[in-house]
Every structure is written in C-alpha cells, then in structure tokens.
C-alpha cells in the first residue's frame, strides 16, 4: 500500500460530463472525500481550453484528479488507480474471467460509444448533431444489450457493482439526453434502474453537483 498524501484530493469536473460522473461514482463508492473544481465545457468557448487548465491536463478534457501527489486524467485510468490504492469496495472482480468481462464492457462504452458522441465531436458535425449522437449510441447499445444478456446478474457482471456499471449509468443518461428510444434495451434499462437506487450513484448524479445550473438541480 502507498503512504497516502494528506492533502484532500481535487477533482476537476463538469456536472454533465459522463467521464467525470464515472469518477465521482468511484470516489463515492470508496468513501473518498474530495474538493471539486468545476470546469465549464461550454462557457466562453469552453474553460477546458484555457491556458490555466491546459497546464493541468494538456488533453484539455475532464475529469482530472489530483491525488497522492500526482495528477491523473482519463476516467478509467483514474478508477484503476483508486482500485489499486483503495481496494475496498472492489470495482474489479477477483475472478479473472469476470474481471475481463468488466474491462470489456467498460472499454466498449468508454472507447466505443462515448467518445464518438461527445461534445468535441458533435461540435464538428454541424446541424445533424442529434442524428449522429443517436446513431452512435444505438449501434453501441445494440451490441451492449447482447453482451449483457450473457454477463449480467443484478448489475453488468454478476451481482457486484463494478467499473462496467460506473460506465453504464452515465452513458444511459447521455442516451436519454439524445432522445434514444430505450425500448429495445431491456437489460441495459433494468441494470441502470437498479444502479440509480444506490446512494453513490445518487450523490454523484449530474443534478446534484456544485456546478449544476439551478434549473437542472434535483
């Protein structure tokens, strides 16, 4: 185990960022108190493009977590670090097959769906943004629904909350925001509903963040 630095972790986050939400869920599940520095991805052309934030993350994306004297970007890398240093409750199963399934589903969402429908891509698409986003999510969810029919218990892989679930819930929220019909995805819908009943998913929800606009607050 590492000797933990005494400073409180700092999370650079945007309330609606699905990648930031994944990390907020992990921090909540593991009981890690942290301070939030909001980075508004829309204000003044995007605060992530400021020189100040570029010094924090050269990729100019959220989330970023400052913890234990290091600065980490990329949500799954952050979650893996939290898992390595604060293993309880675990977010990766001990069984190698289940662990591989969790990583597969997490990557399917984090690499195969979310990046091609995120803000930086949609801004380049022009007026067909909604149609593009819907197509990205639908093709990804068609595959994910099939995968989950083989791996799911109560949650994405068996009955324990895992890194896969941390990716699923924010992606379903994106799908709903892009008005994707969730009817064809009963397994995704069922798992999402069960996860949203858990406290860690509630407190990390975009409607309950320090930078959530008043009209979107829970």
User: Are both 40 and 83 inside the same structural domain?
Assistant: yes
Judgement on whether residues 131 and 154 belong to the same structural domain of the protein: yes
Note whether 52 and 100 are same-domain residues.
Answer: no
* 118 and 167 part of one domain: yes
Statement to judge: residues 34 and 131 lie in one domain = no
- Please report whether residue 175 resides in a domain: yes
Strand pairing category for 64-67 and 70-73: antiparallel
What sign has the CA pseudo-torsion 33, 20, 200, 207? Answer: positive
Residue pLDDT tens, the chain, 218 long = 444 556 899 999 999 999 999 999 999 999 999 999 999 988 988 899 999 999 999 999 999 999 999 999 999 999 999 999 999 999 999 999 999 999 999 999 999 898 776 777 777 787 888 888 898 999 999 999 999 999 999 999 999 999 999 999 999 999 999 999 999 999 999 999 999 999 999 999 999 999 999 999 98
User: Do 125 and 74 have their domain in common?
Assistant: no
60, 89, 118 - which closes a domain: 89
State the residue range of the domain holding 81: 11-89
The answer to whether the CB of 61 falls within 8 A of the CB of 17 is no
Give me the number of domains the chain comprises: 2
Q: Please check whether residues 75 and 126 belong to one and the same domain.
A: no
Tokens standing for residue 215 = 């009209």
Q: Are residues 111 and 186 in the same domain?
A: yes
- Residues 110, 112, 118, 124, CA torsion sign: positive
* 123 found inside a domain: yes
CATH of the domain at 37: 3.40.30.10
Q: Do 113 and 189 reside in the same domain of the chain? A: yes
The answer to whether residue 214 sits within a structural domain is: no
């Amino acid at each position: 185990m590492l000797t933990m630095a005494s400073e409180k972790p700092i999370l650079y986050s945007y309330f609606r960022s699905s990648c930031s939400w994944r990390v907020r869920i992990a921090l909540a599940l593991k009981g890690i108190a942290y301070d939030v520095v909001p980075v508004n991805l829309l204000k003044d052309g995007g605060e992530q493009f400021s020189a100040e934030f570029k010094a924090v993350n050269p990729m100019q994306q959220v989330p970023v977590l400052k913890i234990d004297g290091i600065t980490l970007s990329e949500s799954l890398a952050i979650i893996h670090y939290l898992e390595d240093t604060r293993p309880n409750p675990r977010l990766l199963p001990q069984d190698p097959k289940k662990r591989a399934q969790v990583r597969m589903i997490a990557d399917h969402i984090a690499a195969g769906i979310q990046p091609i429908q995120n803000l930086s891509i949609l801004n380049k698409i022009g007026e067909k943004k909604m149609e593009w986003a819907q197509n990205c999510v639908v093709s990804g969810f068609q595959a994910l629904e099939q995968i989950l029919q083989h791996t799911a218990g109560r949650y994405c892989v068996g009955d324990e909350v895992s890194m896969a679930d941390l990716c699923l819930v924010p992606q379903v929220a994106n799908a709903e925001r892009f008005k994707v019909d969730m009817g064809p995805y009963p397994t995704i819908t069922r798992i999402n509903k069960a996860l949203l009943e858990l406290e860690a998913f509630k407190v990390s929800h975009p409607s309950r963040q320090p930078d959530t606009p008043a009209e979107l607050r829970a």
